[in-house]
Amino acid sequence: MPVYEYTALDAAGKGVKGMIDSESSRAARAKLRKQGIYPTALNLVESSEQSPVFRKEIRFRPTRLKAGLKDVALFTRQMSTLIASGLPLVEALGAQTEQVENVNLRRIVGDVREKVNEGTGLADAMARYPGTFSSLYTNMVRAGETSGTLEIVFQRLADYLENQMKLRGDILATLTYPIFLLVVMSLIVTGLVTFLMPKVVKVFADMGQTLPIYTKILIAGTDFLRHWWWAVFALLAGLVFGVRSYLKTEAGQEQFDQLKLKLPLFGRVTRMIAVSRFARTLSTLIAGGIPLLTAFDIVKNIVNNRVIARAIEAARDNIAEGASIADPLRKSGVFPPMVIHMIAVGERSGDLENMLTRISEAYDREVETTVSALTSILGPVIILIMAAVVFFRGQSHRQRGQGQGNQGHGPDQEFRGGAGPLPAGQCRLPDHRTGA
């Protein structure tokens, strides 16, 4: 069915923009008028006359369009502000279609507005775009619609998304310098192997000297990479393909998630990030009025670790049978004792939401501190590796120099100031420094 982009005036005389699908431009105008919208311009965007492939893309457009976390967070914050100002939901969505800069998100919001105007619930309309609005997002919006607290729900969702953005940005910022050093080191090693080593090999070949052990290793590695680079590339590509294929299986994902938790230092960071995400998300869902069991069903899908997700699912089953929250989490052995203790205190005091928020804030700070410490260590380690490469090259040159010096003191070589025999027909001059 053709899709039209329209510019129109609503019942209050305010300009609105959006998209609508209809059999013809006449039917589209009639459809808009029934909704209380009076079009001033109507442009065909997508036609049913196009190829089958393109029609397939249009058919599955709701699941294909995606928007980034930053754009969704900004949209959520603006929705909270617009609804708090008393603007009706449809008008708030219409205003967003004019303000949103991301093209995909603008189309998504326009379609959501149209569905809401037709009587579909906001959460159901957003659920058609799972790549943009997660299950957490749509479930909280659904709870806000039911309880009449959409303003609060959007505000809490905006806080949650902004905190996720901050954590992701902090980790990326702390990793930038070590990644830069790794790239520089890789370029230096590539330059040594590609340009410098062939010249060194030629010098040694011309001099006919015995090569030092360090240089022999470098030359052997250089020759191997120069002649068998295609085999190395094929081996690495096959290895990457095999590992990725294995990680797509249930057993592979399970083992990889277990490995991530057991790695020295990095395993601790992985666990802290998962716990922080669990606590913040559960707090947001409880504050949004989501039932506890439903909240656990949502939370287990956002921790990004099957081991922890399985522990959350087991805890959810125990809670459904009447157990407390803290006891099954303690039995799982996955969550730190401090987290279990704070959750137990929150249950007893009836302030679980705020206690979970404190847990997430504490672990966010600890993640930031730990990642900063790891990157501060990683920088010097990379510098030491680069220094080792330079030392390796220096040793080969030093041994070459020693080889040249030993050859220069042979009995048949020209005298250079030592005490060796003189060539025939020459005499030794007295040395005024020693009186000899």
pLDDT tens for 100-112 read 888 888 888 888 8
pLDDT in tens, 278-332: 888 888 778 777 788 888 888 887 777 888 888 888 888 888 888 888 888 888 8
pLDDT of 367 strictly over 70 = yes
Rounded to the nearest integer, the mean pLDDT of the chain is 76
What's the predicted TM-score (pTM) here?
0.57
Helices (H), 288-351: 292-299, 306-320, 326-332, 337-349
Domain with CATH 3.10.20 in the chain: 1-59
197 Cβ contact list (under 8 Å, min separation 6): 218, 219, 222
Domain with CATH 1.20.81.30 in the chain: 65-133, 149-402
Range ranked top by mean pLDDT from 49-58, 168-177, 297-306, 409-418: 297-306
pLDDT in tens, 404-431: 555 444 444 443 444 445 454 455 444 4
pLDDT of 235 strictly over 90 = yes
The third-level CATH classification (topology) of the domain covering 149-402 is: Receptor-associated Protein (1.20.81)
CATH of span 65-133? 1.20.81.30
- The pLDDT-based confidence of 13 (bands split at 50, 70, 90) is low
Judge contact between 113 and 97, C-beta under 8 A. yes
Top-level CATH class of 1-59?
Answer: alpha beta
Judge contact between 272 and 367, C-beta under 8 A. yes
- The pLDDT-based confidence of 433 (bands split at 50, 70, 90) is very low
DSSP-based helix, strand, coil % in the chain, nearest 5: 70, 5, 25
What's residue 48's pLDDT? Answer: 44
314 Cβ contact list (under 8 Å, min separation 6): 328, 332
